[in-house]
Amino acid sequence: MGTPELISPRSPRVTAARRLARRAFRGKERRFIAEGPQAVREAVGHRGDDGVPTLIELFTTVEAAERYAGIVDAARAAGAQVHHADDAVVADLSQTVTPQGLIGVCRFLDSPFESVLRARPRLVAVLANVRDPGNAGTVLRCADAAGADAVVLTDASVDLYNPKSVRASVGSLFHLPVAVGVPVEEAVTGLRGAGVRVLAADGAGDMDLDDELDAGTMGVPTAWIFGNEAWGLPAETRALADAVLRVPIHGKAESLNLATAAAVCLYASARAQRVRADS
């Protein structure tokens, strides 16, 4: 383990992995990069709907292979090809300023929207026209933490497999179904047909989240639509929802950012659903 086998950034394997930084190549190969010990650990344990392991290859520095020996061994046991690479090679593949020495190449793992609906979800986050990859990954992480059953990225939203989205999800990408490329109208129609109430989160909403909670109407299966970071949800999207709710601002802050508002809304629904189930 003391000598790296890959020492050139121009190696064909390294070149193929480096291309996955670009969306066109990710789509063509249906592969993406998961970087760092947390993401790689979650990728190792993940399998697609077909039972095939998600992690295909793992590039690791000699130091990282020793530090994270358990992850590397598990990756090898799961059938991934493990390459001990020179530090410069891993740095060349990394999308971070301070690489942690583990770079995984993974298969796409998004779920068909129809399978999300068949599972009869109780809590769903719908990202409509969300363009910032860090926000998309963070909302996915919030949805995972709140116990959501799925996340839906509409066709106008950022690429799920953007390296920043993957990093911001901190492994949550591997925890719950994510459907991508769904037109917002189709998402709303499908979710409503599956018995899910659709709520839009928007600062211009004429209803207050606190009032809705006090009314006891939030314990039913619910999908939250979250809009663009800069301009929120357009009128035509708000019109699709069963209700448009704003998160109340009790202090002097002008507003909440997208991920924070999403966390508040998702946790409010999760709590209301638990209360309803216990009553």
Domains in the chain, start-ordered, CATH in brackets?
12-107 (3.30.1330.30), 113-278 (3.40.1280.10)
What pLDDT, on a 0 to 100 scale, did the predictor assign at position 80? 95
> Token pair of 80, please?
């991934």
- Amino acid identity, residue 91? A
What CA–CA distance (Å, rounded) separates 56 from 67?
A: 21
What CA–CA distance (Å, rounded) separates 173 from 100?
A: 19
What pLDDT, on a 0 to 100 scale, did the predictor assign at position 279? 64
What pLDDT, on a 0 to 100 scale, did the predictor assign at position 28? 96
What pLDDT, on a 0 to 100 scale, did the predictor assign at position 147? 97
The ranges of the chain with pLDDT < 50 are none
- Amino acid identity, residue 211? D
What pLDDT, on a 0 to 100 scale, did the predictor assign at position 255? 84
Distance of CA 181 to the CA centre of its chain: 14
Spatial contact of 136 and 73, defined as CB atoms under 8 Å apart: no
Please count the other Cβ atoms lying within 10 Å of the Cβ belonging to residue 277: 9
What CA–CA distance (Å, rounded) separates 33 from 95?
A: 9
Spatial contact of 93 and 103, defined as CB atoms under 8 Å apart: yes
